[in-house]
Every structure is written in C-alpha cells, then in structure tokens.
Amino acid sequence: MGRRRRGPDRSRGEPARRRRRRRARHGHHARRPRRPPRPGGWTVTAAVPLDPSRPPLDDLTDRLGVAVDGELLQRALTHRSFAYENGGLPTNERLEFLGDSVLGLVVTDTLYRTHPDLPEGQLAKLRAAVVNAKALAGIGRGLRLGEHLLLGRGEETTGGRDKSSIVADTVEAVIGAVYLDRGLEVATGLVHRLFDPLIAESAGLGAGLDWKTSLQELCAARSYGVPEYVVDESGPDHAKSFRARVRVNGALYGDGRGRSKKEAEQQAASTAYAELQDADDPPAAEGA
C-alpha cells in the first residue's frame, strides 16, 4: 500500500514577512498600530523622564486649548540645562527654532491683511510690538509654563522658571510642537488665540516697542542730534539690575530700569520719546 502524500509544509521556506502576516491574521503576535508619520518626516527620538512632582500636562493642554502629543510637549518644555544634566537628552531648541518661524508667519500674514495701506517699515514695527521677548514671556506666564518646565539645578536655583528669556523661548517651542503634531491650521489657530489681543493693541502703539529706533528717528527728523545712553549695573551676576539714562543734546530726557541692559535702554527711550513728542521747543543742554 502506497504512502499518502502530505501537502507542502507551509511553515518551511515561507518568506518571514508572509509568515508574520499569516500568523497575525490568526491572532498571533498582535502588534500595536504604527503612529502616522509627522509632517515633514520629523520624529521624536527620545523620551523625557517624567517628574511626578510636576503638574500634569493635561492642565497645560487645557489652557492651550489644543491636544498635543505628550512626548513632543515634554520636549518643548525641556531646557538645555536639564538635558545636559540627564545624559544629553534632546532639548527644546529645535522646536523653538521651528515655532519662531510659524509664529512669525502667522503674525506677519495677519498684519499684512489687516493693514493693507501700511508700508513695510511700519508693518515691521507692529510685528516687533507683537513678537518680542517681553510679549512672549507675558503669554508664557499667562499659560503658567514655568511650573511645567524641565530645568537643570543651576537654572532652578537662580529663578529660571520665571526668567523672561526662558519662558519666551518655551512659548515658541510649544508652538513648534503643536505645528509638528497637528499641522499649520491648528498651530495658526493657537497663535491667534494667544496673540490676537496683542495684534489688536499693536495698531495703537504708534512707535511700537522698539523705542530706541523710534527715538532716534524722531531726533533725526527734528535735527535734535543722536541720543546718548549711559547704563549702570548693580547686583550679583545671577540677579543683575540695570539703569539707563538717555540724553538728547546734553539734556536728560529718559530714565529706565530693567533686568537687562536692553530692557533698561528701551524704558529710558520710551520716556524720552513721550517727552520729546509733546515738546514745542528743541532740547537745550543742561545749564544753557
């Protein structure tokens, strides 16, 4: 009696990819679905360790009004000081770079459409009144970004959670994270929610927030000469304060203080601009 021939052994010689596919159909080795690629091919390459003492990120996304990938949002909140102390984790600097461009595009487009008759120079001043470190830091504080930041020990002990430069940079990084995860349309909506009040106010700012340039232009137009600044600094290295005074034709017209030389000079220039704008007579040197 002859031997009964068996069918071919389907498990032998079968390509591995086809074998995995066949097993998956029968419930073997089920895999999690892959996340769709991010816009432009950007990927997250490393997770940030979680700190249980920090408020949940859901609190922040509620304030943003946008659901954002948690891993990307953690990256946006990771300052370089924390990254270096934890084995060289990725920082938020690339997201900040991206968010700065998205923010600039949305604000510039809005100003261009809102003010069809303004020349380029005035549009640039209005944009500077909206997109600047002081304005960004104010928005970041309104979002309470400081309590979510991942900072190194040095920044933590010197008040980094409320440092304007860090908070401002983090706002841009968060915008970059929203753009990567949700695309330009959602990121544009976020920028409008956060910045539209500033955009509306910018129309009434006149000189904008670049008071040094505005003061120089005013002095040139009226042949007052070039404004001269004197800046003094005081305090320890980690908490310096600055005082700036500006003279026009030798006369003191502005006095300002700030946590940076630039901030103090801008305050002094703002005061001087207001004084000279309303002056009927040209400035006279003290003692003249």
Residues that are catalytic: 100, 172
Contacts with 31 (C-beta within 8 Å, 6 or more apart), sequence order? 24
Pairing of strands 241-248, 251-258: antiparallel
Where b means 16+ CB within 10 Å and e means fewer, 204-218 reads eeebbbbbbbbbbeb
If one counts every other C-beta atom within 10 angstroms of the C-beta of residue 197, the result is 11
Beta strand 241-248 pairing with 228-234: antiparallel
**What's 155-198 look like in SS3?**
HHHCCHHHCHHHHHHHHHHHHHHHHHHHCHHHHHHHHHHHHHHH
Secondary element (H or E) of residue 274: helix 261-277
Q: What's the residue count for the chain? A: 288
